[in-house]
């Protein structure tokens, strides 16, 4: 991707920089249950501090829909960020207005971090309102976007503000563009894609695109049962989408050698950790049972394809990994990817990132995408507003 500038070429030294990060972390009360997105923002933040910048750090959290909702406050993030940086992080109770100006003035141009309150407490954020963007930009001299997770949204803090200040992507955004972009344009082959998750509908467009560019596409998760039903197989009570059976059948006919489905699955009568498990071939799923994970023969089959790859893209778990008895397929994929040599491994999508992190393999992957919906739209080949505005 060509940009007018990158973070190292902009004259940022000693300046006030508006940094849009993605700090949309899961909160339980004031406890952060997964801080992946916070740690992912640290390299750009530390670079700006090393250059003597005063950083106005901004993010959304949750979906407050333009209203102030205390449960979506970023204040707990300020506390954790301060611990990670081993430096004070000042928190302002709003993202615009007098309180922000006072905080900036109190810093007297010295390097430091001011975390602004949730951008989405204002309706102008999601409406991409110019006046709101002007207020956000009012105290800054430069703009850096490091929030890949919201790059598919044309919001005031991801799009309009980039038209008001000299702008560039941060290190995280650049890394996402580099790794995901290479998958689309020039991957080292064989390129093997693993797609999991519950629904075909949410990934149909990206599945179509990845089937065109991949050497093999391995499917897992709940989406596989729509493909089995399209073939006329008994799927019991397994999750499926009636409206997508014809598309599933078309894909099976178009890519018979490229699309790889599981050959065996684990089934249970109900989704419960102590439910009795049956291990069955995919053409022998009993009535009244539902599939919850891929089976041992499928794990062996998938490992064969994975071990021959030079680039792997993984989006979506193989089963209901949150429950230990149904987590083995996802764990085997994690372990296999972690032990690969001379292979670029890219993990995207909230559930697969959570699985890799929880199972302790995150540092073994070449790239962990923070994108979620943005990753999928990027891999569909769509232009993302938050990226195109920086060009």
- Catalytic center residues: 37, 199, 350, 373
- Work out the angle between the directed axes of helices 328-338 and 350-358 (0-180°, nearest 10): 80
Nearest of 305, 367, 28 to residue 175 by alpha carbon = 367
CB 73 within 8 A of CB 93: no
What are 175's two structure tokens?
A: 């890394």
CB 224 within 8 A of CB 262: yes
What is the four-CA torsion angle of 381, 127, 28, 58, rounded to 10 degrees? 90
Whole-Å CA distances, 382 to 127, 141, 378: 21, 30, 5
First-to-last alpha carbon distance for the chain, in angstroms, is: 8
Please, which residues bridge with residue 143 across strands? 18, 167
What is the four-CA torsion angle of 25, 28, 30, 34, rounded to 10 degrees? -40
Helix, strand or coil, per DSSP, at residue 350: helix
């Amino acid at each position: 991707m060509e940009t007018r500038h990158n973070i190292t070429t902009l004259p940022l030294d000693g300046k006030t920089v508006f940094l849009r990060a993605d700090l949309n972390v899961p909160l339980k009360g004031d406890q952060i249950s997964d801080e992946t997105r916070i740690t992912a923002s640290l390299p750009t933040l530390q670079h700006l501090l090393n250059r003597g910048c005063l950083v106005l750090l901004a993010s959304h959290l949750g979906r407050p829909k333009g209203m102030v909702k205390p449960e979506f406050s970023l204040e707990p993030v300020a506390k954790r960020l301060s611990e990670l940086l081993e430096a004070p992080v000042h928190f302002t109770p709003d993202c615009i207005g007098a309180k922000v100006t006072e905080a900036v003035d109190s810093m007297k141009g010295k390097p430091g971090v001011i975390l602004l309150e949730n951008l989405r407490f204002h309706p102008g954020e999601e409406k991409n309102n110019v006046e709101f963007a002007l207020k956000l930009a009012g105290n800054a001299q430069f703009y850096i976007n490091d929030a890949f997770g919201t790059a598919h949204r044309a919001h005031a803090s991801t799009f309009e503000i980039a038209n008001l200040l000299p702008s560039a992507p941060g290190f995280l955004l650049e890394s996402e563009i580099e790794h995901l972009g290479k998958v689309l344009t020039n991957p080292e082959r064989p390129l093997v894609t693993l797609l999991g998750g519950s629904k075909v509908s949410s990934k149909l467009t990206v599945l179509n695109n990845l089937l065109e560019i991949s050497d093999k596409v391995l499917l897992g998760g709940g989406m596989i049962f729509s493909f089995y039903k399209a073939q006329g197989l008994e799927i019991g009570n397994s999750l499926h989408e009636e409206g997508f059976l014809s598309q599933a059948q078309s894909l099976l006919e178009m890519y018979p050698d490229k699309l790889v489905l599981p050959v065996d699955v684990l089934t249970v009568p109900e989704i419960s950790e102590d439910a009795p498990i049956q291990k069955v071939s995919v053409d022998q799923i009993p009535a009244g049972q539902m599939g919850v994970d891929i089976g041992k023969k499928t794990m062996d089959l998938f490992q064969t394809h994975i071990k021959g790859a030079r680039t792997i893209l993984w989006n979506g778990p193989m089963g209901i990994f949150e429950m230990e008895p149904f987590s083995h397929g996802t764990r085997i994929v994690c372990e296999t990817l972690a032990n690969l040599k001379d292979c670029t491994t890219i993990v995207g999508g909230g559930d697969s990132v959570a699985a890799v992190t929880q199972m302790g393999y995150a540092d073994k992957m070449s790239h962990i995408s923070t994108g979620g919906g943005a990753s999928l739209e990027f891999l569909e080949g769509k232009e993302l507003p938050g990226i195109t505005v920086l060009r």
